[in-house]
């Protein structure tokens, strides 16, 4: 704590020296509107790129379907890489498909990394990931425009396949960078039967070099990610900037209930092995067990695949996923153990089998206090109020925390809606977040120093 305080005074000084000065006295209502005056980043320039990006994978009902490793994603990546080159960044793609764009620093220091993702869920929106990715690009452009030199080299990153829809593994690119992906991940196939390895080839990469995507701890000074909140806390409290305290762990299982498909008219009710009836009870059991403990943990069954799937056949097989999320890994384990017991009881009573296999487990991560404080200071300097909050959504930042200290900035989401075409954050609120990212990068660039064990506050 003492070290932290010693580090904050130079930080405060750096804030005061950031050109040009912004009014730090703006409070209350004015704060939630954002003090656009004096912003270093260019909101209009940013919005133009966000609008263009939203054309890749656009859906008629609005929003996009731009799954990681798809034609739409590939085209969007080309667009973003073009913008990165125009901004003078040295662009490279690692063997996991992550895109990096480097701006040199003046000292021989590890890079400061910031970015997000541009892939989406099916029928997703135009803000999840896009804001942090093109926000990172806008930071680079603004630094160029204002001829700001940094001590650390800066890199923006666009992580590959964050949502993980068709390979059952989210946070893919950052997972490769963190070295947490198990063997066999590249053999997973999408709905067309194309393997992840083949997709990497289509993206110009050699899957045999996949492990080279790993980022060594200590080689990155820190990681920052700007993102929409995807919940309603900031909007409801009218606070423009969220300082993320931690990111939930996300655990996925695929479960299959196996009964016996039989004639719906001739099989008496007491002789049925109805896989769907069992799966329906299982869905409710998940909800009950998640709710059985107080606090913010969540659990979801997001789909069911029923076979054979006809009105007059008793369902013989149902596949359904279980997703559990919390900041505490032990709590997830505890709830999952109870759910499994409930599934065993249901299976017995319904005369079916229920089997679940783990598919993915992304560990929860805490953000670094030094990075949290830098974000608060940056927001204050931009005349923007902040609030600390946890992230219920998963982010590549949780993998980045395995190789570097990490922080995350949130901006409000209208109505708390996300993973939906109705996802929306107004341009001025996006700009608030990008300005805070810009200033946080500069504060951390000024304040971080390298120690033997990694990074600490300068003193
Ligand atoms: C990622 O967007 C997730 O939280 O599912
Ligand atoms: Mn998402
Ligand atoms: Mn996201």
Domains of the chain: 2-248+364-457 (3.40.630.10), 249-362 (3.30.70.360)
226 membership: H or E segment, kind and range: strand 220-228
pLDDT, position 63:
98
DSSP E strands, 31-89:
none
For residue 106, the CA-to-ligand 1 centroid distance in Å is 36
Record the pTM.
Answer: 0.85
pLDDT, position 208:
96
Which is the closest atom of ligand 1 to the Cα of 121?
2
pLDDT, position 449:
60
Which is the closest atom of ligand 1 to the Cα of 392?
4
Instruction: Count the Cβ atoms, other than its own, within 10 Å of residue 89.
Output: 23
SS3 label, residue 307: strand
Which is the closest atom of ligand 1 to the Cα of 418?
2
For residue 395, the CA-to-ligand 3 centroid distance in Å is 6
Q: What is the pLDDT of residues 401-425, one digit of tens each?
A: 999 999 999 999 999 999 999 999 9
pLDDT band at 19 (very low <50, low <70, confident <90, very high): very low
Instruction: Count the Cβ atoms, other than its own, within 10 Å of residue 59.
Output: 14
For residue 163, the CA-to-ligand 2 centroid distance in Å is 6
196 membership: H or E segment, kind and range: helix 196-202
Mean pLDDT of the region 8-18: 45
For residue 128, the CA-to-ligand 3 centroid distance in Å is 5
pLDDT, position 1:
39
> Is the CB of 163 inside a 6 Å radius of any atom of ligand 1?
yes
Tokens found for residue 76: 């969007």
**Which CA distances in Å does 181 have to 96, 166, 184, 356?**
11, 16, 9, 20
What DSSP state is assigned to residue 18?
S
The dihedrals phi and psi of 150, each to the nearest 5 degrees, come to -115, 155
Which is the closest atom of ligand 1 to the Cα of 395?
1
> Is the CB of 394 inside a 6 Å radius of any atom of ligand 1?
yes
> Is the CB of 190 inside a 6 Å radius of any atom of ligand 1?
no
**In the chain, % of residues over pLDDT 90:** 86
Partner residues linked to 100 by β-bridges: 92, 157
Q: What is the pLDDT of residues 78-109, one digit of tens each?
A: 999 999 999 999 999 999 999 999 999 999 99
Number of Cα atoms under 13 Å in the Cβ half of residue 240: 31
Q: What is the pLDDT of residues 111-169, one digit of tens each?
A: 999 999 999 999 999 999 999 999 999 999 999 999 999 999 999 999 999 999 989 89
Tokens found for residue 387: 């609030």
Asked if pLDDT for residue 3 goes beyond 50, the answer is no
The dihedrals phi and psi of 228, each to the nearest 5 degrees, come to -70, 150
Which is the closest atom of ligand 1 to the Cα of 248?
4
For residue 401, the CA-to-ligand 1 centroid distance in Å is 17
For residue 15, the CA-to-ligand 1 centroid distance in Å is 33
> Is the CB of 423 inside a 6 Å radius of any atom of ligand 1?
no
């Amino acid at each position: 704590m003492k070290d932290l305080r010693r580090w904050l005074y130079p930080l405060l000084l750096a804030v005061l020296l950031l050109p040009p000065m912004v009014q730090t006295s703006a409070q209350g209502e004015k704060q939630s509107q954002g003090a656009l005056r004096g912003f270093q980043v260019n909101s209009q320039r940013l919005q133009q790129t966000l609008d263009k990006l939203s054309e890749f994978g656009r859906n008629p009902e609005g929003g996009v379907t731009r799954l990681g490793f798809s034609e739409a994603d590939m085209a969007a990546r080309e667009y973003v890489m073009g913008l990165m080159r125009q901004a003078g960044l040295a662009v490279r793609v690692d063997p996991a498909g992550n895109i990096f764009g480097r701006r040199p620093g003046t000292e021989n220091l590890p890079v400061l990394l910031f970015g997000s993702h541009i892939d989406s869920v099916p029928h997703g929106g135009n803000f999840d990931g896009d804001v942090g990715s093109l926000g990172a690009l806008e930071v680079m452009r603004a630094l160029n425009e204002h001829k700001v030199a940094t001590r650390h080299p800066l890199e923006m990153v666009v992580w590959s396949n964050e949502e993980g829809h068709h390979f059952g593994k989210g946070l893919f690119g950052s997972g490769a960078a963190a070295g947490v992906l198990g063997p066999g991940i590249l053999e997973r196939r999408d709905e067309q039967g194309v393997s992840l390895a083949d997709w990497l080839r289509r993206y110009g990469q050699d899957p045999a070099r996949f492990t080279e995507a790993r980022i060594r701890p200590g080689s990155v000074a820190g990681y920052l990610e700007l993102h929409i909140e995807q919940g309603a806390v900031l909007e409801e409290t009218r606070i423009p900037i969220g300082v993320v305290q931690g990111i939930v762990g996300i655990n996925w299982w695929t479960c299959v209930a196996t009964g016996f498909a039989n004639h719906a008219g001739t099989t008496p009710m007491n002789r049925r092995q109805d896989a769907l009836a069992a799966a329906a009870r299982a869905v409710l059991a998940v909800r009950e067990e998640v709710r059985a403990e107080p606090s913010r943990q969540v659990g979801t069954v997001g789909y069911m695949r029923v076979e054979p799937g006809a009105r007059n056949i008793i369902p013989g097989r149902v596949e359904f996923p279980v997703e559990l999320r919390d900041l505490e890994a032990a709590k997830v384990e505890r709830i999952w153990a109870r759910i499994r017991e409930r599934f065993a009881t249901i299976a017995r009573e319904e005369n079916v089998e229920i089997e679940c296999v783990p598919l993915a487990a992304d560990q929860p991560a805490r953000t670094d206090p030094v990075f949290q404080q830098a974000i608060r200071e940056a927001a204050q300097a931009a005349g923007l109020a902040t609030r600390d909050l946890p992230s219920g959504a998963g982010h590549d930042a949780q993998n980045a925390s395995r190789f570097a200290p990490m922080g995350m900035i949130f901006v409000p989401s209208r109505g708390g809606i996300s993973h939906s075409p109705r996802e929306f954050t107004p341009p001025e609120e996006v700009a608030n977040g990008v300005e805070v990212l810009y200033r946080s990068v500069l504060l951390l660039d000024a304040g971080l120093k390298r120690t033997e064990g990694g990074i600490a506050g300068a003193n």
